[in-house]
Every structure is written in structure tokens, then in C-alpha cells.
């Protein structure tokens, strides 16, 4: 494939700088690419009811597990899953997960130290970030030790790699799911293969039995979801629902966060003054907190928040949001003298996140890494609808708090203990892999990690 759909959407966004929306074809189906943040805001928030479906279809008779993922649901089923899962992602629940995440970050620091001693530099930072988020999701969602940092043959890591990491078979599968959804049922194409589902089903069953027999409470996702009080009208949660929710936690939460973490580390390595400023903030907050990192102290690291926001702007894991118009809708005229445009029910509507994030109209010097754009004073000036790493409105990413926390925990641990530098093996400027529907650096992110004498 020469260019992924995501990069093509960015090209179209850049080709028509003066219009609020552009008509495009998705193979042979007419679709709309929306450029104007004001209209995007309306689609995602005010008029959400007219665009409540994502433009990805799975047949529940073919892929019953994926069909329980809120991203792929709509209507009443989506509302029920969304409200059940939202309960698992509150700030209070994140606070309970923090010690588990911190423990994984300690393993990561030990791993980097050992690797550096053994001449492991430069390190493949996407792989490092993948190990971290894999073990983190393993412990927070399934209550097990993923062992990615100690066992090169870790079962959990191997299974994780099969879900969303780039491969020819994944590219082909996504091509069918996104462009020829009607063929997926016929060809019985599934998001997640049966043996991967069986693996997770077994892990969950064994874990739940063990906890029951040993009266173990861990306050992780499995505890929360199994003890959740359902609304009177909600159907009771079956074992398959719990398996599906846990798999969706893994599928949605591990790869996106590992991408975001690897690019954040690259941006810090490529911008040494930012790295130094961040290290000073981290050390200062930790000093004030008696020498330890806590959930609360992370909330006081404002510059860290700016660094991550800026990295998600330049390297947003998702190139675009793909919605479906679910009831006829009127777009405002393209020009003052023009007419309203009717969008028919069933029309795909593309929101080109990557194009917006790199548009100088909204972010001057868009290629430059400037975390200060997101300072308290400056972020009020960011045009709503132009910054969407997690989407917006009714379908905003449900795992956003979890993602931000796990990435911050990893950045803090690394920046505190290591000087990070871009190794010459990294090809700069980074070239985005044209074959994948999420953002990947084509030739990898290779960084050197030098232990600091704190």
C-alpha cells in the first residue's frame, strides 16, 4: 500500500485549505471530510445524535467478542456498555490502579539499566514502550504479571503483538474491515483471532477462580467489573461480557498508549531543553512529596501535562475519526452566497485529526515541539474542535484517564533516572509508516538511555 487511508485524509485536508468540508469517495461510496473545527464541534458534541455511529461494522454472529467493544456498538447497546465501562475509569479507580502502574515502572527502570550495562543502547523505544504498556494493562486489567521485562518469550507480550502491531495480515484485515465491511461477514474476518480470545478467556477464568478461593481483592479492572452494581434494566453480565470488556481494555489500551509513549520519549530526546525543564519539575514535585511519586503528585506536574499534550498533537496515534451520519443532516453553506448541503443518512464523515493538529492556522510552527502551547494561559486560545487526540463529545475515548496516567508514570520513571538522546540509527525527520492505520515511525525510534547519578 502506498499510503494508508489516514495519510490520504491528511493529504486531502492539506489540498483544500479554504473550504469547510470536502466531498471524497470511500472506494465508490460518497463521503465527507470535514475541515472546519466549528462544524466538527457540532458533529461531535451538539449534534452527536446524528453521528452516533463509528463507520466500522462488525457482524455479531461472526465476531461476538469485538461486537461488544463500545467503539463498534451504537444505540442502546452502546449506551449500556459505555455507562458500565465509564464506571471502571473514574479518577477514584485510577487512583487505586496507580500503585500497580508504579510497580511496572520500577521493573522498566531495572530493565533499562541492565540493558544499558549489557550494551543494549540504542534501544528500540517502541518495543520498550510496548513492554511497559503490555505489563501495565496485564496487571491493571487482568491482575497478572505480563513478565515482558524479564521473559523474552512472555506469553502475554506475544499475544499483545498479535492484536494491533503492524503486520501484513493486520493491514489486509483492516483494509477489509474499513473499506469492504460487507465482505467481512462473508469471509468470516474477525478483529481478534479465536485462539487469542481463548487465551484471554482462560486467563480470566483462572484469575477469577483463584481470587474467589483466596478471598483476594486487588481493586483492578476485573474486581471492579465483576463487582459492579448494574442498573435495574441492564442485562446481567455474562462470562463472555467480562471477557469481551477485558479484551477491549487490552486491545484499545495497550497499543495506542505504547505508540503515544514512544513518540513522547522521542520528542523529549530530540528537544533537550524540554527534557531538562521536565526533569526539574519532576524532581521538584517529588522532593516536595517527601521523595516519592504519588497519584496526587502527578496531578501537580503541569509541565508534564503540556509535554504529553504537545506530543499527542504532533504524533496523534489516530489519524482520523470516522463517523457515520445516522440521520439526515444539514451542513452550513460552503460560502456566504452558497446553499446548505444535505448529508444523507448513511454517509461516512471523516474528521482528519492529524491534518488539523499540523495546521499552522491553529498551531503556528506546527512541526515544532512547543509544550508551552498547552500552558494554562495558552490552552484557552486553542480553537475547540482543532485538537482531538482522544476524540470529543459522547464518544470521547473512555480510557483517556488510564492512558494519560500510564504514559505519565512511564515518562516520570525514565526522565528521573536516565538522560535520553536520539541515536543516529533513528532516521530524522521521522517518516510515518504509510502501511498502518495508527501512527508508526517507519524506521523505528532508537534512543540511548544514560543512567543519571541522582
Binding-site residue numbers for heme are 397
- Among 6, 20, 37, 70, which residue interacts with ligand HEM (rule: CB under 6 A)? 70
Burial of residue 181 (CB within 10 Å: 0-12, 13-18, 19+) is middle
For residue 159 the three cell numbers come to 499475544
Residues 178-217, mask of contacts with ligand HEM (x by CB under 6 A): ----------------------------------------
| Residue with smaller CB distance to ligand HEM, 343 or 405 | 405
Shortest distance in whole angstroms from residue 395 CB to ligand HEM: 4
State the nearest-atom distance from the C-beta of 424 to ligand HEM, in Å: 28
The reply to whether 40 sits near ligand HEM by the rule CB under 6 A is no
Give the DSSP letter string of 141-197: II-S---TTT-TT-HHHHHHHHHHS--HHHHHHHHHHHH-HHHHHHTT--SS-HHHH
Residue with cell 483463584: 210
| Backbone φ and ψ of 32, nearest 5° | -125, 135
When asked if residue 257 is in the footprint of ligand HEM (CB under 6 A), the reply is yes
- Closest distance of CB 213 from ligand HEM, Å: 28
Q: Could you say which of 26, 82, 95, 218 contacts ligand HEM (CB under 6 A)?
A: 82
Which of 100/421 has CB closer to ligand HEM? 100
Is residue 319 a contact residue for ligand HEM (CB under 6 A)?
no
Residue 66: C-alpha distances to residues 59, 142, 182, 243, 454 (Å) = 9, 18, 16, 11, 46
The region, left, alpha or beta by phi > 0 then psi within -120 to 50, assigned to residue 267 is alpha
Residue 86 exposed, middle or buried by CB count within 10 Å (0-12, 13-18, 19+): exposed
Q: Give the nearer residue to ligand HEM in terms of CB position, either 259 or 370.
A: 259
Kindly tell me which of 279 and 354 has the beta carbon lying closer to ligand HEM. 354
- End-to-end Cα spacing for the chain: 47
Segment 223-252, which members bind ligand HEM (CB under 6 A)? 248-249, 252
The answer to whether 311 and 263 have CB atoms below 8 angstroms apart is yes
C-alpha cell at 217: 481483592
Structure-block grid coordinates of residue 230: 448494574
DSSP for 288-299?
Answer: HTTT---HHHHH
Among 317, 352, 355, 371, binds ligand HEM (CB under 6 A): 317
Contact assessment for residue 35 and residue 352, using Cβ atoms and an 8 Å cutoff: yes
Give, to the nearest 10 degrees, the angle between helix 155-164 and helix 255-270: 90
> Does 6 participate in binding ligand HEM (rule CB under 6 A)?
no
Q: Is 403 in the site for ligand HEM (CB under 6 A)?
A: yes
Query: How is residue 337 written as a grid cell?
Result: 452566497
Instruction: Name the segment binding ligand HEM (CB under 6 A); options: 115-123, 262-270, 317-325, 357-365.
Output: 317-325
Instruction: Give the Cα separation of 353 and 331 in Å (integer).
Output: 19
Nearest CB to ligand HEM, comparing residues 13 and 402: 402
Q: Return the number of the residue (314 or 448) whose C-beta is nearest ligand HEM.
A: 314
Cβ proximity to ligand HEM: between 248 and 271 the closer is 248
Nearest to 293 by CA among 111, 136, 133, 98: 98
How many residues bind ligand HEM, per CB under 6 A? 25
Find the radius of gyration of the CA atoms of the chain. Answer: 22
- Binding letters toward ligand HEM, positions 260-279, x by CB under 6 A: x-------------------
Hey, what's the torsion of the CAs at 305, 306, 312, 313, to 10 degrees? 150
**Beta pairing, strands 341-343 & 21-26:** unpaired
Residue nearest ligand HEM by beta-carbon distance: 399
Determine the interface stretch with ligand HEM among 147-155, 210-218, 316-324, 445-453 (rule: CB under 6 A): 316-324
Q: Is 318 a binder of ligand HEM (CB under 6 A)? A: yes
Closest to ligand HEM by CB, 397 vs 409, is: 397
Give min distance, CB of 52 to ligand HEM, in A.
Answer: 9
β-strand pairing of 123-124 with 53-54? unpaired
Q: Taking CB under 6 A as the rule, which mask of x and - marks residues 46-65 in contact with ligand HEM? A: --------x-----------
Q: Between 398 and 441, whose beta carbon lies closer to ligand HEM?
A: 398
Using CB under 6 A as the binding rule, the residues of this chain from 383 to 402 that contact ligand HEM are 389-392, 395-399, 402
Is 101 among the residues that bind ligand HEM (CB under 6 A)?
no
Binding interface with ligand HEM (CB under 6 A): 54, 70-71, 82, 248-249, 252-253, 256-257, 260, 317-318, 321, 389-392, 395-399, 402-403
Amino acid at each position: 500500500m502506498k499510503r494508508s487511508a489516514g495519510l490520504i485524509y491528511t493529504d486531502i485536508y492539506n489540498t483544500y485549505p479554504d473550504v469547510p468540508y470536502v466531498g471524497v469517495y470511500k472506494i465508490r461510496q460518497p463521503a465527507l471530510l470535514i475541515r472546519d473545527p466549528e462544524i466538527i464541534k457540532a458533529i461531535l458534541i451538539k449534534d452527536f445524535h446524528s453521528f452516533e455511529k463509528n463507520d466500522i461494522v462488525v457482524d455479531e454472529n461472526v465476531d461476538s467478542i469485538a461486537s461488544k467493544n463500545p467503539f463498534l456498538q451504537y444505540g442502546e447497546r452502546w449506551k449500556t456498555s459505555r455507562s458500565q465501562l465509564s464506571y471502571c475509569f473514574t479518577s477514584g479507580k485510577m487512583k487505586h490502579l496507580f500503585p500497580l502502574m508504579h510497580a511496572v515502572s520500577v521493573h522498566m527502570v531495572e530493565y533499562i539499566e541492565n540493558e544499558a550495562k549489557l550494551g543494549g543502547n540504542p534501544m528500540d523505544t517502541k518495543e520498550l514502550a510496548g513492554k511497559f504498556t503490555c505489563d501495565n494493562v496485564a496487571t491493571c486489567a487482568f491482575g497478572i504479571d505480563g513478565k515482558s521485562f524479564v521473559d523474552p518469550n512472555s506469553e502475554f507480550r506475544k499475544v499483545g503483538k498479535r492484536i494491533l502491531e503492524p503486520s501484513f495480515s493486520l493491514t489486509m484485515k483492516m483494509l477489509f474491515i474499513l473499506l469492504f465491511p460487507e465482505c467481512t461477514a462473508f469471509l468470516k474476518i474477525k478483529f481478534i483471532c479465536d485462539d487469542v480470545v481463548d487465551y484471554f478467556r482462560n486467563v480470566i477464568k483462572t484469575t477469577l477462580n483463584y481470587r474467589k478461593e483466596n478471598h483476594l481483592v486487588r481493586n483492578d479492572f476485573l474486581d471492579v467489573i465483576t463487582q459492579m452494581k448494574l442498573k435495574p434494566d441492564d442485562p446481567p453480565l455474562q462470562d463472555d461480557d467480562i471477557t469481551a470488556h477485558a479484551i477491549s481494555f487490552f486491545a484499545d489500551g495497550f497499543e495506542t498508549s505504547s505508540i503515544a509513549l514512544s513518540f513522547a520519549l522521542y520528542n523529549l530526546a530530540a528537544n533537550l531543553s524540554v527534557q531538562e525543564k521536565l526533569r526539574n519539575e519532576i524532581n521538584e514535585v517529588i522532593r516536595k512529596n517527601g521523595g516519592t511519586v504519588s497519584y496526587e503528585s502527578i496531578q501537580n506536574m503541569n509541565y508534564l501535562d503540556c509535554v504529553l499534550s504537545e506530543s499527542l498533537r504532533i504524533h496523534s496515534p489516530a489519524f482520523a475519526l470516522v463517523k457515520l451520519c445516522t440521520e439526515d443532516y444539514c451542513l452550513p453553506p460552503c460560502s456566504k452566497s452558497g446553499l446548505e448541503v444535505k448529508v444523507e443518512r448513511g454517509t461516512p464523515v471523516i474528521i482528519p485529526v492529524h491534518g488539523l493538529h499540523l495546521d499552522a492556522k491553529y498551531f503556528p510552527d506546527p512541526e515544532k515541539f512547543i509544550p508551552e502551547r498547552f500552558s494554562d494561559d495558552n490552552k484557552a486560545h486553542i480553537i475547540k474542535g482543532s485538537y482531538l487526540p482522544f476524540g470529543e463529545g459522547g464518544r470521547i475515548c473512555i480510557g483517556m484517564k488510564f492512558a494519560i496516567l500510564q504514559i505519565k508514570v512511564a515518562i516520570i520513571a525514565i526522565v528521573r533516572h536516565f538522560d535520553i538522546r536520539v541515536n543516529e540509527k533513528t532516521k530524522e525527520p521521522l517518516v510515518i509508516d504509510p502501511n498502518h492505520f495508527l501512527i508508526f515511525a517507519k524506521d523505528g525510534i532508537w534512543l540511548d538511555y544514560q543512567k543519571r547519578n541522582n
